[in-house]
A and B are shown apart, each in its own frame.
Chain A
Amino acid sequence: MTLERCGALWGRAAYFRREARVGTYIIRRFFLMLLTLFGISLLIFTMLRLVPGNIADIVFNAAGMIDVAEKAKLEKELGLDRPIPVQYVEWVSGLARGDLGYSYVSEKPAIDEILPRIPITAKLAGLALLFAVTFGVPLGVISAVKQNTTLDYVLRVISLSGLSLPSFWLGLLILMAFVAYFGAIPIYTNPPKGFWNTLWLFSIPAMAVGFRSSALIMRLTRSSMLEVLRQDYIRTARAKGAPARTVNYRHALRNALLPVVTVIGIEAAFLMGGLIVTETVFNIPGVARFLVEAIRWRDYPIVQNLVMFVAVVAVSINFLIDLLYAVLDPRIRYAS
């Protein structure tokens, strides 16, 4: 056997081993994801059962009724008389079948309450993320390239204020501006007609939510860029006489974007927090405001399924980002 052939065989074997390793990595991550989701379901379920008194007590206290037989009947109807582990198994097996139970408040199937509200929140989240990335990444790069100039200081203070303003207050300020200029506030309770009208109406709250995310992305892009700009290969590129633009945008930015991708993913999953308050401020009938309403009403079938839904979205995005990372950064593929 010639040396080259030997080398080629070795190379193929290494290739397959590597592929196998990537495969096991993905499978391992997938099972960890399932384990995490199982943990989350346990956490939510026990948390909601920590509350002294169940829905039956609350309904009875609110209505001023004291008929014990009536209350027992209601508890039986809602399945609250069974032991807690049984209730948990019923909930999870229901989830697997796509049966989420019934809302206590509207008495409609929970899935019919949740599903129609998701597109509204998804549109809002998508727009907010788009806003955050289109402003965050370029401004972060500019801030890093112009480090310690006045522009850098101004951008840094703006981004820090983005992390300090409560998004509900920003939303309220925007509403006040609307009142001042248009004499009315935008209405979301009837779904807006037409693409441009929808885009215009939704981009207002999306900006209120996205400001924080864009500030976060900007800060991370800046520090990641600064880290990369200190590397030896950047100095080499500069020493070779490569133009500053090429070094900054072709050599540095491509490498600096990796951690930024992770943060964008985490932000996408965690936008829910900002959406909750913003949907409340703007009175948008989305899934985030619905969660708060369900919590206020102690409508637990809705609450536990919604939080589970949020967690599934967050965990899946994290999983996808991990995969994307392995694709984008060969070092991770080879190392794991």
Chain B
Amino acid sequence: MSIIDLPVETETADRPESVWSKIRYHLGAHPLGSIGAAIMAVFVFCAVFADFISAYSPTATDATVRLLHPGAGHVLGTDQMGRDIFSRIIYGARISLAVGLGSTLLGSLFGVALGLTSGYVGGWVDLVIQRIIDVLQSVPLLVLALVMAAALGPALDNTIVAISIPLIPYTARVIRSNTLALREQPFVEAARAVGMSEFRIAVRHVLPNTIAPLIVIATAQLGASILTEASLSFLGLGVPEPHPSWGRMLSESAAEYVRTAPWLVIFPGVAISLAVFGTNLFGDALRDILDPRLRD
């Protein structure tokens, strides 16, 4: 039996070890991660093809169909202004995805720049950047995002910036510690020996080697920033009208309609939870795959 098994094992071991092929290979071995990826795919599909999926405009009000129960016509019912909940949830995916992706990318960009500089240059530059990271990390994420959002004013792009700032220290920490280890590797010395500039070594040789931990932390942050956007919008300091945001749908319905129209409370919450849950499932599988130290 073991003789028959052997070639199969060598074949898998011979697979090219690029990040993407690893992901493809391991998704089959991580059913939960595949479920997460499927949920994320549905979520992205809704965001991209919102115009084709929803029968109603997410912003059109209609006084004749206020607070309809879920049923034929309006699948998930209507809200206090007669807007179709299903359409608002589908279009809300767009807002969540835009804010989630936008703030994660922006936060990663600054985090990578700070972490790479801090780890590669070292010395007093490292000390200064470390203190900045300490400062950003000492204020709870939502509090910092809240104050930033209030300072910048209510707008979609401001919300993205406000959420990206608190994400910076986490990315910077991870990239810095990876850079510190990579800096001592022989290939860096080799690059230096052939006369490569320090900037080129840092960007072309050290940076690509931090991509795996970066993907892991960025996926975790995607879920966190979707949740933060929902919280900000719930508190009325996030994405403003007329954008249909899941968080704001909840805040509009929270106080009055908990008693009379529970569907206004249930469906947007299910949408947020599912999107974040899918992202987290996927992110967990990614971490298991890309970070062998944590693999069980």
Contacts and interface: CB of A to CB of B under 8 A. Distances in A.
Interface of A: 32, 35-37, 39-40, 43-44, 47-48, 50-52, 147-148, 156-157, 160-161, 163-166, 168-169, 172-173, 175-176, 179, 185, 223, 226, 269-274, 276-277, 280-281, 291-292, 295-296, 298, 303, 307, 310-311, 314-315, 318
A195 to B, nearest CB: 29
A148 B234 CA distance: 38
Interface in B268-285: 269, 272-274, 276-277, 280-281, 284
Given A50-B152, A295-B147, A273 B140 contact: yes
Contacts of A147: 296
A169 B296 contact: no
Contacts of A32: 131, 134
B142 A276 contact: yes
A315 to B, nearest CB: 5
Contact of B146 (A39, A172, A295): A295
A314 B142 CA distance: 13
A307 B231 contact: no
Contacts of B296: 147-148, 226
Given A172-B254, A315-B138, 8 more contacts: A35-B131, A48-B151, A168-B230, A168-B254, A172-B258, A295-B150, A310-B140, A318-B138
B227 A166 contact: yes
Closest 8 pairs (CB-CB, A-B):
A273-B142, A169-B269, A39-B135, A164-B277, A164-B276, A270-B140, A272-B140, A295-B150
Contacts of A315: 138
A231 to B, nearest CB: 14
A274 B151 CA distance: 21
A48 B139 contact: no
28 contacts: A32-B131, A32-B134, A39-B131, A40-B135, A40-B138, A47-B147, A47-B151, A48-B151, A164-B223, A164-B227, A165-B269, A166-B234, A169-B265, A169-B273, A172-B269, A176-B262, A270-B141, A272-B143, A276-B142, A276-B143, A277-B235, A292-B235, A295-B146, A295-B147, A295-B150, A307-B143, A310-B140, A315-B138
Contacts of A37: 138
A169 B140 CA distance: 20
A255 to B, nearest CB: 17
B240 interface: no
A314 B139 CA distance: 7
Contact of A161 (B234, B262, B273, B284): B273
Contacts of A292: 146, 235, 237
A318 B265 CA distance: 37
Contacts of B142: 272-274, 276-277
Nearest to A304: B147
Given A166-B231, A223-B294, A276-B143, A36 B138 contact: yes
A255 B132 CA distance: 32
Contacts of A281: 254
B24 interface: no
A296 B236 contact: yes
Contact of B135 (A36, A172, A271): A36
B134 A164 contact: no
Contacts of A314: 138-140
B138 A311 contact: yes
B246 to A, nearest CB: 9
Contact of B237 (A52, A223, A296): A296
Contacts of A48: 147, 151
Interface string B198-232: 00000000000000000000000001000100110
Contacts of B281: 160
B135 to A, nearest CB: 4
Nearest to B220: A163
Nearest to A270: B140
B148 interface: yes
Nearest to B35: A157
Contacts of B276: 163-166
Contacts of B138: 36-37, 40, 311, 314-315, 318
A179 B259 contact: yes
B250 interface: yes
Contacts of A164: 223, 227, 273-274, 276-277, 280
B153 interface: yes
A223 B288 CA distance: 11
Contacts of B151: 47-48, 50-51
Nearest to B141: A273
Nearest to A168: B234
Most buried by A among B132, B143, B151, B259: B143
A32 B138 CA distance: 12
Nearest to B31: A153
A168 B230 CA distance: 9
Contact of A166 (B141, B146, B272): B272
Nearest to B236: A296
Interface string B137-174: 01111110011101111000000000000000000000
